A and B are shown apart, each in its own frame.
Chain A
Amino acid sequence: MAARAIWKGKLKLGTTAVPVDLYSAVVDKTVHFHILEERTEARVKQHMVNPATNEEVPNDEIQKGYQVEPGTFVILTDEELEKLQPKPSRDIEIMRFVSPEHISSQWYDRPYHLGPDGDEQAYFALADALANQEKEGIARWVMRGKEYLGALRSQDDYLMLVTLRHAEEVISAEDLPSLGGRALDKKEISMAKQLVELLEGEFDPGEFQDEYRERVEEFIKQKANGKRPRLRAVQSKRGTSSLDNALSRSIASLKKQKEKVAA
């Protein structure tokens, strides 16, 4: 399958430039609906109205503004908005390399695959170096009028660029209510560890499907054929009353399962 590049750029490391193609690494699989008028089952149109008068305001009369306090807006003209845009550039500037464990998953936003664009040797040398040294590059670039910060990493021999969230978008654990409760005793900790070990396995992404989406798609298909599928409710569980007891019973039952498999 030939994916189409959505953007072209140059990875800049000091004086070296590695030309790359950028590809989206995730696909939106959400089931999208259209809004229809009930009477005609035709798609609706939309416009902007002044809620006080219910009168339509045509596009060329609409102003754009930032709310600075309730009811007070600073108007920004299209020319002003354009001037605020970052200068277009094809450079993806690598500022430094860090160890991957320095970037917690909380910072990752959107992943992109990078493909070589003319200089395969430099591209694969860089991918190889990142993989071998277990480093990620911190990159900065401008794409489609927006500034991005990203992590450049190696993934299965290829390069990948994951956009990073801005500091204002990341909520600190210090903002959470403080943790209470009693301290765990040694026995509980060691049993929890044992339970984790018993449940250890591989990560196989193919195993996990979006069952909700599948149900919606199947439902639409059946409805298109004039059918009506049955739907069921899901039950919730209660909290465990005794941690100690639940841990030891879990361990016992998992061990039994493993023995059965082995036998």
Chain B
Amino acid sequence: MMRPLWSGTITFGLVSVPVDMYPANRSDRAPLRMLSPDGVPLSRRYYSRESGRDLDDDQMIRGYEIEKGKYIVVTDDELEKLAPRKSRDIDLRRFVDEQAIPPIYFERGYYLTPGAEASRDQTSSTAANEEIIAVRVPAAGIVQTLSVRAGQMVATGQPVATLISNS
């Protein structure tokens, strides 16, 4: 049984519809593993350029290179604060014709199913900053969606949402 990867609310006008999000794509490639000469799966380790010693997670930080060899350190806490976390809203901005969005904007597809309101508060947010720009509501009552994150979502026939890239 598939489990939703995210739960949230589609809002358009004054309507809010709780939805569960499921992936519409999966990876089909089993990765090749690296093994030792006697067949033990290897682990990747980071080590110090200076001392040559392996480093633990708490000995490493994240840096953005602003010029060669010069880094601005950005902490997990800062990135978390910059992220649009905890928002469970898919904000539906507008409805457009399906053909109006060339496939170059499509990124990843997701299914949206009617969500269980009760489970909403226990589900953590992994896909927070989507804005839907289009939804079609066919006779069956299944919401078909088209969104943007600078990306967005689309649905066709089934309750599919597709992330669209803006790059």
Residues in A lying within 8 Å of B, measured CB to CB: 25-29, 31-52, 54, 57, 61-67, 73, 75-76, 104-106, 108, 111, 151, 153, 155, 160, 162, 165-166, 168-171, 173, 175-177, 179-181, 183-184, 189, 192-193, 195-203, 205, 208-212, 215-216, 219-220, 223-224, 231, 233-240, 243, 246-247, 249-251, 253-254
Among A175, A196, A237, contact of B16 (Cβ-Cβ < 8 Å): A237
Q: How far is the CA of A208 from the CA of B131 in the complex (A)?
A: 9
- Known contacts A36-B60, A220-B74; decide if A202 and B100 are in contact (CB<8 Å): yes
Among A66, A67, A236, contact of B88 (Cβ-Cβ < 8 Å): A236
Q: How far is the CA of A127 from the CA of B60 in the complex (A)?
A: 52
Find out whether the CB atom of A57 lies under 8 angstroms from the CB atom of B42. Answer: yes
- Known contacts A193-B137, A223-B74; decide if A239 and B37 are in contact (CB<8 Å): no
Find out whether the CB atom of B15 lies under 8 angstroms from the CB atom of A240. Answer: yes
Interface range on chain B (Cβ under 8 Å from partner) = 35 or more
- Known contacts A36-B61, A166-B28, A183-B141; decide if A250 and B36 are in contact (CB<8 Å): no
Find out whether the CB atom of A253 lies under 8 angstroms from the CB atom of B32. Answer: no
Find out whether the CB atom of B37 lies under 8 angstroms from the CB atom of A61. Answer: yes
When each residue 99-114 of chain B gets 1 if its CB lies under 8 Å from chain A and 0 otherwise, what string results?
A: 0111111100101011
Find out whether the CB atom of B28 lies under 8 angstroms from the CB atom of A44. Answer: no
Q: How far is the CA of A250 from the CA of B111 in the complex (A)?
A: 25
- List residues of chain B with CB within 8 A of the CB of A247: 13, 15
Q: How far is the CA of A247 from the CA of B73 in the complex (A)?
A: 48
B42 to chain A, nearest CB (A): 4
- Known contacts A169-B27, A203-B96; decide if A35 and B74 are in contact (CB<8 Å): no
Q: How far is the CA of A224 from the CA of B63 in the complex (A)?
A: 11
- List residues of chain B with CB within 8 A of the CB of A177: 1-2, 113
- Known contacts A31-B64, A106-B160; decide if A251 and B17 are in contact (CB<8 Å): no
Among A66, A173, A183, A184, contact of B33 (Cβ-Cβ < 8 Å): A66
- Known contacts A63-B36, A250-B12; decide if A199 and B92 are in contact (CB<8 Å): yes
When each residue 1-43 of chain B gets 1 if its CB lies under 8 Å from chain A and 0 otherwise, what string results?
A: 1100000110111111110001111111010111111011111
Q: How far is the CA of A189 from the CA of B139 in the complex (A)?
A: 7
Find out whether the CB atom of B66 lies under 8 angstroms from the CB atom of A224. Answer: yes
Among B42, B71, B95, contact of A41 (Cβ-Cβ < 8 Å): B71
- List residues of chain B with CB within 8 A of the CB of A208: 131, 133, 148-152, 166
B47-69 interface with A by 8 A CB criterion: 47-50, 54-55, 58-66
Find out whether the CB atom of B40 lies under 8 angstroms from the CB atom of A51. Answer: yes
Most interface-central of A28, A46, A106, A240 (chain B CB within 10 A): A106
Most interface-central of B8, B94, B103, B165 (chain A CB within 10 A): B103
